[in-house]
Structure 1
Amino acid sequence: MKSLLITCLTLLTLLFSYSADADYDRNKAVPVEKVLFGSVISTRNISQEELIQDKNSGWKTFGGALVGGAIGNQFGGGSGRDIATVLGAVIGGKMANNRSQAKTVTVRLVELMIEVDCAEKQCQQYMVIQDYDQQMVFHQQDAVRMVYLANGNVRIDKQF
C-alpha cells in the first residue's frame, strides 16, 4: 500500500513539473525572400480574442484520477473497495479537469494598408495584420518596408 502511495506521489510530481517548450526561437536568423518599400495608407488597431487551452490539462486530469483512485482504495473491502477506487478515480479526474479550464486572452493587433513604391505607374496595395508593437506605432504616410521571410511570414517595419 505504501509503495502505491509513493508511486502516485512520484507520478504527480513528474506530471506537474512538466513544462512545454516555446514554439519558436527568438534569436534565430530567418532568410529573407524579398523586400518591398512603400508607405502606410491607413492603420487601424484591432484586437482578437483567442481561446488558450491548458496544454497540461490531460496530465492534470490523469493525475487527479490517480490520486482519487488511491484515496478511494483506502475505503471498504472486497468489491466495495473496487467500487470506492473507481468512484475516487472518477471524482478525482473530474475535479482536476474542472480546475484546468481554457482562458480567453485578448491579443492586440494592427491592420496596415500599405501602398508599395510604384513601378511604371502600377501601384499595388497590400493589407497586413500583425502583432501590435508599442515601440513601433504606425501612422499614415510613414515610410515602411515589407519583408517577406522564407518561412512564409510577412513583417512590416518602419523605414529608417
Structure 2
Amino acid sequence: MIMLKPWITCLAIVCLFIGVISPIEAGYKRNQAVAVEQVQYGSVVSVRNITQKQLVEDRNQGWKTFGGALIGGVVGHQFGGGSGQDVATVLGALIGAGVGNRYGDNSYYQELSLVELMIKQEDGKQVMIIQDLDPGMIFNAGDEVRVVYLQGSVRVDIAM
C-alpha cells in the first residue's frame, strides 16, 4: 500500500496536466490557410461598429484550488497525532481548497470591437455579417467587397 501512494499522486498530477495543456482556439485568422467553400462579391449597404463584452475565465483556477488543498493539508498535518492528525489533515486540505478556489479567481471582462456589415451580394441576396474590427480594413457604405464563406464561418474583405 505504501508503494501505491507515489503512483496515485503522479497519476493525479498527470490528469490535471491533461486538462490544462490543450488551449481551445476558435475562429479564423487572416494569416491562416483555410479551405474556402464559396466566394461572393457585393457592395456594402450599411456599416455599424459595435462592442461586445466577453467573460475571460482564469484557466489556472484548478491549480489554485489544488495548491490551496495541498498547503492546507500540509499545515493541518502538523497538528494532533493518530486519527486526530488525519482529521486535521483532511480539514486543512478542505479549508485550503476552499480558500484557493474563492480567492484565486482572476476572471475579467474583455471588450471586443466588432463591425456589423449589411451587404447586397451580386446574386441579389442581402446578408448581415458581424466580424472582428480590423483597423487596417475600414468599411464604408458603397464599398465593393468580397464575402468569403468558409466551413462554419464567413469573412468579408475589400474587393481587389
Q: Bin the TM-score by the shorter chain.
A: 0.7 to 0.9
**1:93-132 alignment, distance < 5 Å:** 93-98=97-102, 99-117=104-122, 119=123, 123-132=124-133
Q: For each residue in 1:16-74, what CA deviation from the matched residue of structure 2 results, as whole angstroms up to 9, or x when unmatched? A: xx654452696542111111111111111111111122223123212221221112111
Alpha-carbon separation, structure 2, partners of 1:153 and 1:101:
31
3-state SS of 2:98 partner: helix
Identity %: 50
Inter-partner Cα distance in structure 2 for 1:95 and 1:19: 24
From 57, 82, 85, the equivalent of 1:81 is 85
Say whether 1:146 aligns with 2:147: yes
Specify the alignment match of 1:23 in structure 2: 25
Structure 1 counterpart of 2:43, which letter?
A: S
Tell me the CA shift for residue 102 of structure 1.
2.5
TM-score, scaled to structure 1: 0.78
Instruction: Tell me the TM-score normalised to structure 2 length.
Output: 0.78
Which AA in structure 1 matches 2:149? Y
Equivalent-residue separation in structure 2 for 1:159 and 1:91 (angstroms): 60
Q: One-letter code of the match for 2:159?
A: Q
**How many corresponding residue pairs?**
145
Distance 1:108 1:32, change over 3 A: same
Q: Which residue identity is paired with 1:154?
A: V
Structure 2: gaps (5+ residues): 1-5
Structure 1 position 91, deviation (Å): 1.8
Separation in 2, partners of 1:19, 1:96: 21
Q: Secondary structure at the match of 1:60?
A: helix
Query: Who is 2:73 aligned against?
Result: 69
Q: Which amino acid aligns with 2:96?
A: G
Structure 1, residues 94-142: CA drift from partner, whole Å, max 9, x if none? Answer: 121121242211111111100112x5xxx22100011111111111111
Q: Distance in 2 between matches of 1:76 and 1:105?
A: 48
Aligned counterparts of 2:33 and 2:64: Cα–Cα separation in 1: 36
Report the aligned-residue RMSD: 2.6
